Structure 1
Amino acid sequence: MLPAFALATELERRGHHVALITDERGAQIPGRPDFLTMHVLPAGRFGKNPLKWIAGAKAVWEGRNMAIRLFESFQPSAVVGFGGYPAFPALWAATAMGIPSVVHEQNAVLGRVNRLLAGKVDAIATAYPQIERLKPKHSGKVHLVGNPVRAEVLALREEEFPALGEEGLFRVLVTGGSQGARVLSEVVPDGLAMLPPALRQRLQVTQQCRPEDLDAVRTRYSSHEIPAELGTYFENMAGRLADAHLFIGRAGASTIAELTAVGRPAILIPLPIATDDHQTANTREMVKAGGARMVRQDQFTAKELAKQIKAIADSPEGLGKAAHAAFNCGRPNAVQDLADLVESFGGAEMMDVIRVGANNARGASQGVAVGQRAAREIRERLKR
């Protein structure tokens, strides 16, 4: 939803009329821009229980038909999907009606819905140069754009990596995603305690925890005499990321995008139950560049954490090099490039469209054809 909000904001800034289609769960996610009209459609899910497949199929079919009626009224120049079951009915309707369509994949593994639609959509926008589960025959549709990042985080890209002198504080930021991660609460305090005294004595930790873990984590840090600020949620996460010398946490797409946008070294522990192990795939570019180290959860012990931190933070120069490597993996123009791509497929004929990549000729011609109605409307407004 957050990349969708970011794209909607950019397209609205460029003068387009944007609407959001989602399901009831998506409608509850905060952060939707005030201008963004929302349409809630049914979108069935297909889990492991076959008994629920019939109900899921009925919901998808109903959502598709509702989307068709919506498109007949709204007459979109393009439809953009961000993966997940809520996007499927609307994209199915768009491809059936011949409306230019684009899917965006946040992770380094093409998700199930995007895999299902890859052969029908006009373009596949990706966040990583290497995407698993993508069929070679669809590679011509791929456009590398990155993951949109919050404006307050992106602004930090202009700032230098915080200096770390021989006696300065060594600030570590630990988060486990929106719900926290118990394994971080269990391992990180003891791992930090195993660092060499010269490094351990300079630690200043900020850690997000689950509510039920707070007291135990506080006790652990206190017993190790390590200063730590703990919380279940931090308002100014961008500011804390700006101050951090090292990040420890999960490897979700948004996390990787923010770390690389700002240029922060990381110890990454992928969520082992993530679909298609996509968080492990998300780490590969950053790890290969030298901006992060990845530890699988079944190998994530206090001793291993201390070893990895020492390897990446044994000297200020080492941290600085890792920060630079992470920075070089960033794609700060992701939302603009994604908006350019969408315009190239669904743009009106009088738009100044920037084509992304070399595979847009077919999509551009389709976009002009679909966009003629919008162009006529613009000309009428100019006459008035």
Structure 2
Amino acid sequence: MSGANRHFVLAAGGTGGHLIPAFALATELDRRGHHVALITDERGAAIPGKPEFLPAHVLPAGRFGKNPLKWFKGIKAVLEGRKMSLRLFETFEPSAVIGFGGYPALPALLAATSAEIPSLVHEQNAVLGRVNRLLASRVEAIATAYPEIKRLKPKHAEKTHLVGNPVRAEVMQLRDDPFPPFTDEGLLRVLVTGGSQGASVLSEVVPDGLAMLQPALRARLQVTQQCRPEDIDAVRERYRSHDIPAELGTYFEDMASRLADAHLFIGRAGASTIAELTAVGRPAILIPLPIATDDHQAANTRELTQSGGARSIRQHNFTGKELARQIQALAQRPDTLSTAAHAAWNCGRPNAVRDLADLVESFGGSELMDVIRVGANNARGASQEARPAHGAARDDAS
């Protein structure tokens, strides 16, 4: 814990992917006795899960699409946001500003550079995002969630620190629970989600794919699926016609407990999704969003698929037949799924929020504190514990 209470500003885009790790860091810094403020856009200020102690300052977020004619409006918004950030910094006096990507982070980090306040960015995906890419040369540190990051220039390697992707506390609490028992006769519990907005392609493919499983496995299915509101009735009818028991919803508040019960996850490959799968240790079949910027969801799957913890299917190959083939391969024997779960668990970085907070605290303190923290606890290549064999006792307290 730091010896002095300080002030930190977190700046994040208005999606859960940017804000979940920001909220986790805010909670840890608050626990350590620091004061934290959030800069985001209108979407971010309204998103569920924001800690009560965390004040949100809404700034205009300039967006820069492919049409240069619209850039003037974006530049104007960024300049206004920068001016508002500087006014906040004058009263709040932050020791450092931490960006989590997304356009709302841009003006805050530009203001930090102007005010000579230390700044760093956290990249949740396996491809450096546009805003983080733009600011990489200006910030003091780049925290990453994966060992390999595309679009990160080699010249920035010295200030790059592997910390992982912070996840919600209720998910992290499940890390030391064993993989749910799966036997030759027991239920196969499948959890299907498409991220915060759902995914129609999952609604179209998954019910028919599950129906193509061999009868002995199909008879043991128990499905929980998140659907878009406009899809849910059609999906319910498909499962009914296939005689497959399924619980459907547009949103599940108790997603952590559903993940705890699941033997297999099917869904998108967003950064938060993969962080939670590896935190808990759940096998997955991942369908990266094909229109994701820089194809970052496909890059996000690399470490997990190479470890054997997941299978990845490109959306243009995502058919019922291919899905059934992959599930059959994973669930052919009880130990196949548990082995994949073990591999996923070993990809987890349970100390992500601690390592990120340590990195943040290393900036803006005394010169001696900086030397101690960066020298003795460099988050680059943060250690990961190895998971004991399935069913063995664990002595790692994470």
TM-score normalised per structure 1: 0.91
Partner of 2:205: 187
Question: Secondary structure of 1:18's match?
Answer: strand
Aligned to 1:138: 156
Q: Deviations over 1:208-246 (max 9, x none)?
A: 111111111111111111111111111111110000000
Q: 1:358 to 1:40 in 2, by over 3 A?
A: closer
2:235 — aligned with what? 217
Alignment-mate amino acid for residue 343 of structure 2:
A
- Structure 2 counterpart of 1:15, from 24, 30, 33: 33
For residues 177-225 of structure 1, what are the alpha-carbon distances to aligned partners after superposition, in whole Å with 9 as ceiling and x for unaligned?
A: 1111111111111111111111111100001111111111111111111
Q: Distance in 1 between matches of 2:232 and 2:85?
A: 45
Identical aligned pairs, as a percentage? Answer: 78
Cα offsets for 1:39-96 (capped at 9, x unmatched): 2222211112222211110111111122122212221111000001000001011112
Structure 2: which amino acid aligns with 1:357?
N
Equivalence map 1:291-310=2 (5 Å): 291-310=309-328
- Per-residue deviation, 1:354: 4.2
Task: Answer yes or no: is 1:59 the counterpart of 2:80.
Answer: no
SS at match of 1:143: strand
Alignment gaps of 5+ in structure 1:
360-384
Q: Which has the higher helix share?
A: 1
Higher gyration radius (CA): 1
* TM-fit CA distance, 1:158: 1.0
Q: Deviations over 1:141-192 (max 9, x none)?
A: 1100111111111111010000011111110000011111111111111111
Partner of residue 160, structure 1: 178
Distance in 1 separating the partners of 2:361 and 2:338: 38
Residue 253 of structure 1: aligned partner: 271
Answering whether residue 132 of structure 2 is matched by residue 118 of structure 1, we say no
Report the Cα distance in structure 1 between the residues aligned to 2:188 and 2:215, rounded to whole angstroms: 12
Instruction: Provide the C-alpha distance between the structure 1 equivalents of 2:275 and 2:366, rounded to a whole number of angstroms.
Output: 31
In 2, the alpha carbon distance for the partners of 1:354 and 1:10 equals: 17
Give 1:248 deviation, angstroms: 0.2
Q: Which residue of 2 aligns with 1:276?
A: 294
Amino acid at match of 2:347: C
- Equivalent residues in 2 for 1:357-376, closer than 5 Å: 357=378
Q: Does residue 1:325 correspond to 2:343, yes or no?
A: yes
Q: SS where residue 209 of structure 2 aligns?
A: helix
CA distance in 2, matches of 1:291, 1:226: 26
- Name 2:5's counterpart in structure 1: none
Evaluate the alpha carbon distance shift between residue 246 and residue 303 of structure 1 in structure 2; reply closer, same or farther with a 3 A threshold.
same
**Counterpart-to-counterpart distance in 2, 1:120 and 1:50:** 24
Q: Tell me if the contact between 2:264 and 2:284 (Cα under 8 Å) persists in the aligned partners.
A: yes
Q: Distance in 2 between matches of 1:66 and 1:170?
A: 53
> Which residue of 85, 102, 115 corresponds with 1:97?
115
Query: 1:348 offset after TM fit, Å?
Result: 4.8
Q: Which of 75, 87, 98 matches 1:80? A: 98
Q: Does the 8 Å contact 2:163/2:379 carry over to 1?
A: no
What is residue 364 of structure 2 aligned with on the other side?
Answer: 346
Deviations 1:91-147 (A, max 9, x none): 011112221111000000000000000001000000000000111111111100111
Residue number in structure 1 paired with 2:187: 169
The whole-number CA distance in structure 2 between the counterparts of 1:332 and 1:141 is: 22
Task: Quote the Cα distance in structure 2 between the aligned partners of 1:68 and 1:56.
Answer: 18
Runs of 5+ consecutive residues of structure 2 not aligned to the other structure: 1-18, 381-398
Give the whole-Å Cα distance in 2 for the aligned partners of 1:23 and 1:305: 38
CA distance in 2, matches of 1:64, 1:210: 37
Larger deviation, residues 114-123 vs 14-23: 14-23
* Aligned-residue offset at 1:349: 6.5
Distance between the aligned counterparts of 1:269 and 1:14, measured in 2?
Answer: 38
